[in-house]
Every structure is written in C-alpha cells, then in structure tokens.
Amino acid sequence: MKRNVLNQFNGWMLAVASVMLLSLGACDKNEQGGEKPKNLPDIDVKIEGTIDHQKLVEGQKGSVTFNRFPATVQEFKEVREKIGKEPHGAVALQIMAYEMFRRNQRIGMECINLNSTNTNSGEKSSAVRQLRLLFNNDNSSRPYQMAAYLKGATFENGYSPTKPYTVEVIVDEGRGYGYSNDYQAPIVKLLVLTKGKERPDPVALVKTKDPKESSEGKYFIVSECSSIYVRVRAIAFDHPFKGLD
C-alpha cells in the first residue's frame, strides 16, 4: 500500500516537473524576443531613395515601405539588415521600435536599444519615460502616435494609413549636417513627414565605430528624436483608431 502511494506521488511529482520545464522552455523562447504568431504573413520591406551619409545634399529624400510591423526582436534584426545601413532606414526602424514598445515593452525596449545611441535608449532615458506616458491608458494617451508617421494617416481619418505602410523622410536643409567628436562621425539630420503636426519632425542619426554603441560602424542609429514622442493631434471622435498590422 505504502509503495503504491509512493509510486503515485513520484509520478505526480514527475508530471509537475515536466510541466515546469516546458513552461521554462517557453519563457526562454519569449526572452529571446517572442515568437512570431503563425498567422502573420512574412514581413516585406522596401527602401527607396538616396540620402548622403557625409554631407547635406539639398532635395534628397527617401522612403521605407512595409506590410506590417515586426513582431519579434529577431524580425526587427532581419529588417535592420535590409534597411538599417541607410539613414532613412534607421528612421523607419525607430518608428517600428516605438510601436513595438507600445505593444510589448520588453520586446520594444530591445529594439529601441538596438536602433538608438545609449543616451537615447534604456529604462532611465527620457525617450522611454516619455513613451510610457504616451502609451498609458489615461485621456492624454496616444496609442496612434506612430501611425501618424505613416503615409495617408491623418487625425481626421483616425490615423488610418495607406497600405502598405510608408515612412517618408527628407533632409533637414534648415539644420544641415553636423559632426560629433564623441562619435567621431557625421551627424545626419533628417525630417520625418507626418500629418499629425504642423511640420515634419527632426531626427538626428549617426553611424559610429564607438564600441559602446550598437552601430558597429555599419548601422545608422538615432541620437535624437524627441519630437517623435511629443503628442500628435488627437483623432476625430467620428473616426476611432483601428490599430496597425
């Protein structure tokens, strides 16, 4: 009798341990940046236009078109390989990373850290603090903030962009380019177009070999984009925000 009870107890403990191991395995996968939902189509990204890496060339512009936002850190990295070596590609990546942060702060944080300088990323950065305020659930929140930077999105239509999504960027002829002694590299200054404000928002980018940064000397990363997390105009009551793919 005692032996049967002991065997049952051991069997129960083994089952519990197996469930715990499976759960831990799932958590490990999620810690790697989440799993892509099976019903999502493959992400399709195209980059167009030329923006000089070293000096301002008046009239230059570029755009990035994509069918949906990345769902995982791995997908974000794959998109980065396609577009992150161009300055306007890094602007689009920042819009993606901020929207990913709205959906899942842990995953979004990893992507922000990949695409930003140390001063513009991390838990204690002004950018992340402002994003948390921007995406909270009070009356001043802006869940549609990143949608406002997609072509066709306006406050009148609930920031419902044209599909596939397009981020449009032009050079900032008013500010011109700069140079950073800290990064030992040019600072590329661009404007990202939006209908959510009266004028385009400035973004500064750098490609640096500084070993402390995520640029690796080949990717552009965002050094400043504070205007992007300044609230866009509120949507019209007749056209609620329907979300983004």
Residue with tokens 């992007």: 228
User: Which residues make Cβ contacts (< 8 Å) with residue 212, sequence separation at least 6?
Assistant: 118
- Cα-flanking dihedrals φ and ψ of residue 154, to 5°? -135, 160
Q: Which tokens is 26 given?
A: 């799932």
CA distance readout (Å), 162 to 2, 53, 189: 70, 29, 26
pLDDT of residue 219: 99
Assess contact for 40 and 68: CB atoms under 8 A: yes
pLDDT in tens, 127-179: 999 999 999 988 889 999 999 999 999 999 999 999 999 999 999 999 999 99
pLDDT in tens, 20-61: 433 433 333 344 456 667 789 999 999 999 999 999 999 999
Q: What is the DSSP letter of 92?
A: H
Q: What is the DSSP letter of 178?
A: E
- Cα-flanking dihedrals φ and ψ of residue 214, to 5°? -85, 5
Q: Which of 31-40, 193-202, 235-244 has the lowest mean pLDDT?
A: 31-40
Indicate if the pLDDT at residue 221 is higher than 80. Answer: yes
Q: Exposed (0-12), middle (13-18) or buried (19+): which is 212, by Cβ within 10 Å?
A: exposed
pTM for the whole thing? 0.86
Helical segments of 104-188, H only: 105-115, 126-134
Pairing of strands 185-192, 165-171: antiparallel
* Residue 152 backbone zone (phi > 0: left; psi -120 to 50: alpha; other: beta): left
Selection from 170, 238, 160, 159 nearest residue 197 by Cα:
159
Q: What is the DSSP letter of 231?
A: P
**Residue 180: beta bridge partners?**
185
